[in-house]
Chain A
Amino acid sequence: MTTGSAESVQQRIREFLEERIKTNIVVDKDLFASGLVNSMFAMELVVHLEQEFGVAIVGEDLKLDNFRTVERMTSLVCRLRDAPVTDHA
């Protein structure tokens, strides 16, 4: 994983959120604690990341803490994208 592609992941996540929230986002801001996004949007965010980056977010990874900030979402996506495909069944 090069820094460049992590940066582009972060950029794409930020752009998606900024378009939906219509606010500029600081990448380490807790989106849930600040009330910028709510629990209903949380699941859409998960599905969006899965589709946009071709990853499956399941098991232990499916927890709100991984989605609190753009930075955390970026590291989750990068980790899952780089991980060998495992059987989550």
Chain B
Amino acid sequence: MSEAASAPLGVLGAGVMGTGIAALAIGHGIPVVLVDVSEDRLADARRRVDAQLRHARLMGSVPARDAAGLTTAVELAAVAGATAVIEAVTEDAEIKAKVLEEASSLFAVGTPIISNTSGIPIGELGRFVSRPDELLGIHFMNPAYLITMVEVIRSARTSDETMAAVTGLLARMGRRGIVVRDAPGFVTSRLLHPMINEAARIVGAGVATAESVDDLMRGCLGHPTGPLRTADLIGLDNLVDALSTLWERTGEESFRPCELLREKVAAGHLGRKSGKGFYDYEKVLS
């Protein structure tokens, strides 16, 4: 197999997004080295990458060919030699800073470092890498293997060479990028996250049930699933983290995570990934 010879893509963080991005890449014949903090998480991640690859095949969203290899590791050093690395660790600026700093010390010049952050400015993260011109944001949507469009964030320091390398990588994975400039939340999270937050506030205030909010947004406004099903898919913990990072950076009240969201996270109701969020996934349709 010729793919076996091609350099792997490094993916840091094997959560909802890291596993989805790994399924997308191997489904397109690009081998992946996937890193997380524990063997337990990685064992679970391997199962989820397999399941997501099957889902991608079912939906016809990856080419009908053998998947490339998936390697998992607990040491960041395993991604040295990767053609590019995508950071998809927890949405926490401190954790990202630490991971990016360590990763950037491992790579040869010319290796793009990509952050999948939902909204932390790329310029801010650039302070932690040795070559900020090689850093940019690619905001993959969830599920990464089904949604073909991505938001590409170019910081003031991202170089043309980096943009060209990443455009090639996206093309190999059948993704289409829209390039935007750097700002907290970029475009998609700046619009989506306050909407979800407000939808949760509406439910918390008893104005309407989660089902009614989603049905109205689908039936009247053409939203594909409704904001609260989207929230459950994203993961309510990640949503609260992302809203907090945006609130801290902008002071905008619309980003302050509402009480109902925080309560659900405290209760361990994280959405689809824990089986329950605004919906109970044992009982209702996804």
**Cβ B285 vs Cβ A42 within 8 A:** no
A43 at the interface (CB under 8 A from B): yes
User: Which of these, B55, B60, B224, B285, contacts A43 with CB under 8 Å?
Assistant: B55
Residue-wise, chain A 28-62 has the 8 Å CB interface mask toward B (1 for contact) of 00000000011111111011000000000000001
Chain A contacts of B285 at CB under 8 A? 20-21, 37-38, 41
Chain A contacts of B57 at CB under 8 A? 62-63
B164 at the interface (CB under 8 A from A): no
The residue in chain A whose Cβ has the minimal distance to the Cβ of B58 is: A62
Chain B contacts of A63 at CB under 8 A? 57-58, 60
**Cβ B58 vs Cβ A38 within 8 A:** no
B54 at the interface (CB under 8 A from A): yes
A64 at the interface (CB under 8 A from B): yes
A contact face: mostly helix, strand, loop, or mixed: helix
Q: How far is the CB of B277 from chain A (nearest CB, A)?
A: 13
Q: How far is the CB of A39 from chain B (nearest CB, A)?
A: 6
In the complex, which residues 182-239 of chain B have their Cβ closer than 8 Å to any Cβ of chain A? 224-225, 233
Residue-wise, chain B 16-37 has the 8 Å CB interface mask toward A (1 for contact) of 0000000000000000000000
**Cβ A43 vs Cβ B51 within 8 A:** yes
**Cβ B59 vs Cβ A39 within 8 A:** yes
Chain B contacts of A22 at CB under 8 A? 284
Cα(A63)–Cα(B55), bound, Å: 9
Chain B contacts of A62 at CB under 8 A? 54, 57-58
In the complex, which residues 1-35 of chain A have their Cβ closer than 8 Å to any Cβ of chain B? 20-22
The residue in chain B whose Cβ has the minimal distance to the Cβ of A60 is: B64
Q: How far is the CB of A12 from chain B (nearest CB, A)?
A: 17
**Cβ A42 vs Cβ B58 within 8 A:** yes
B286 at the interface (CB under 8 A from A): yes
Chain B contacts of A41 at CB under 8 A? 285-286
The residue in chain B whose Cβ has the minimal distance to the Cβ of A40 is: B286
Cα(A79)–Cα(B249), bound, Å: 57
B positions within 8 Å CB-CB of A: 51, 54-55, 57-60, 143, 146, 224-225, 233, 272, 283-286
A positions within 8 Å CB-CB of B: 20-22, 37-44, 46-47, 62-64, 67
Known pairs A20-B284, A40-B233, A63-B58. 8 more at Cβ < 8 A?
A22-B284, A40-B225, A40-B272, A44-B286, A46-B54, A62-B58, A64-B58, A64-B59
- Pick the 7 closest A-B CB pairs, nearest first: A40-B286, A43-B55, A41-B286, A20-B285, A62-B58, A62-B57, A41-B285
